[in-house]
Structure 1
Amino acid sequence: MKIYTLHREQVLPISLKEAWDFFSTPLNLEKITPAEMGFVVLTDVKGKSIYKGMLIEYRVSPLLGIKMKWVTEIGDVSEPYKFVDNQLKGPYALWEHTHTFKEVPGGVLMHDDVRYAIPLGILGEIAHVLVVKNKLKNIFDFRGETLKKYFKG
């Protein structure tokens, strides 16, 4: 299984507490995901912040409008600096997304580090080159632009 990585970083003009409060609230993920992904949080998480072991179920349409279930578990949590979500069920053979936050002059430096793998062996590798790599890039580009507007940075 070939493992790929995606890294993004962005400075947001907010405090560390504001960053943690926003990103550790599962419902906010819907706000920063492109509409065409059909991303919906199914688990009742209203008013809840993440915690180690938290299971969150989503519905997502990653390709061709095909709906599928995605279940993640929150792994490591080091409030307010870091948390990790790991896919238990979904479109990837591996999905490990590490979110880190660090105070810097002017706000918070946010890092997204994703380790992921595509199922289906060589077919998955071909799909990665033809579709998945660019799809993920576009999703994280959208997030970056949306966060700039949301936090007016």
Structure 2
Amino acid sequence: MKIYNLKRAQILPISLAEAWQFFSTPKNLQKITPPHMGFKIKYLSGNEKMYPGQLILYKINILPGIPVDWATEITHVVEPYYFVDEQRFGPYKLWHHQHHFREAEQGVEMTDEVNYAIPLGFIGRMANSLFVRRQVEAIFDHRHRVLENYFAKKFVTV
């Protein structure tokens, strides 16, 4: 099995507490997911507050017009510094997503690190080279832009 890695960091002009509040709320994921993916939460175990063992079931379009169910489990939570979500079933053979937060001079440095694998052996490796890697990168590029705009609005003075 070939494991791929994507790591992105971004400085947000907010406090650590504000970052944690936003990113540890599962419903906010829809705000930062590209609209064409048709992201919808179908099931959220427990309550709104994230906790280890929490299950979240989503419906997403992996390709235009091809919706799939994707279930993740929140496996680790160390408030307000990091949490980890892992796919339990869905489009990947492996999806392990770490979310890290640390105070920085200009606010909070948020780091996403994703380790993922594609099913189907050689065909999966080809798919990653041809389009999957670009799709994963595009999702995180979109998040970066949305977060930059979303949190910049909080600090606009009139």
Q: Same fold (TM over 0.5)?
A: yes
- Distance (whole Å) between structure 1 residues aligned to residue 94 and residue 45 of structure 2: 24
- In the TM superposition, 1:82-121 aligns within 5 A as 82-121=82-121
The structural deviation recorded for 1:65 is: 1.9
Residues 46 and 74 (structure 1), Cα distance of their counterparts in 2 relative to 1, 3 Å cut? closer
Q: Which has the larger displacement, 139-148 or 60-69? A: 60-69
**Cross-structure match for 2:62:** 62
Tell me what 1:141 maps to: 141
Structure 1 residue matching 2:152: 3-state secondary structure: coil
Residue 6 (1) aligns with residue 14 (2): no
TM-score, length basis structure 1: 0.97
Match of 1:31 in 2: 31
Contact 1:58–1:69 (CA<8 Å) still a contact in 2? yes
**Does structure 1 conserve the Cα–Cα contact (< 8 Å) formed by 2:45 and 2:54?**
no
Unaligned segments of structure 2, at least 5 residues = 154-158
Count of aligned residue pairs for this structure pair: 153
| Alpha-carbon distance, 1:45 to partner | 6.6
State the Cα deviation string for residues 52-88 of structure 1 (Å, max 9, x = none): 0000000000113201100000011100000000000
**Alpha-carbon separation, structure 2, partners of 1:121 and 1:109:** 35
Runs of 4 or more, structure 1, over 3 Å off, are 44-47
TM-score computed with the length of structure 2 as normaliser: 0.94
Aligned counterparts of 2:30 and 2:47: Cα–Cα separation in 1: 15
Q: Is 1:72 aligned to 2:42, yes or no?
A: no
Amino acid corresponding to residue 69 of structure 1 in structure 2? D
Tell me which residue corresponds to 1:123: 123
**How far is the alpha carbon of 1:44 from its aligned partner?**
4.2
**Could you tell me whether the CA contact under 8 Å between 2:45 and 2:55 is conserved in 1?**
no
Q: Is the 8 A contact 1:76 1:84 kept in 2?
A: yes
Q: Contact conserved, 1:15 with 1:108, CA < 8 A, in 2?
A: yes
Q: In the alignment, is the contact (CA less than 8 A) between 1:27 and 1:45 conserved in 2?
A: no
* Deviations, residues 113-134 of structure 1 (Å, cap 9, x unaligned): 0000000000000000001000
Q: What letter is aligned with 1:23?
A: F
Gaps of 5+ in 1: none
Equivalent residue, structure 2, for 1:52: 52
The question of whether the paired residues in 2 share the 8 Å contact of 1:59 and 1:68 is answered with yes
Distance 1:46 1:14, change over 3 A: farther
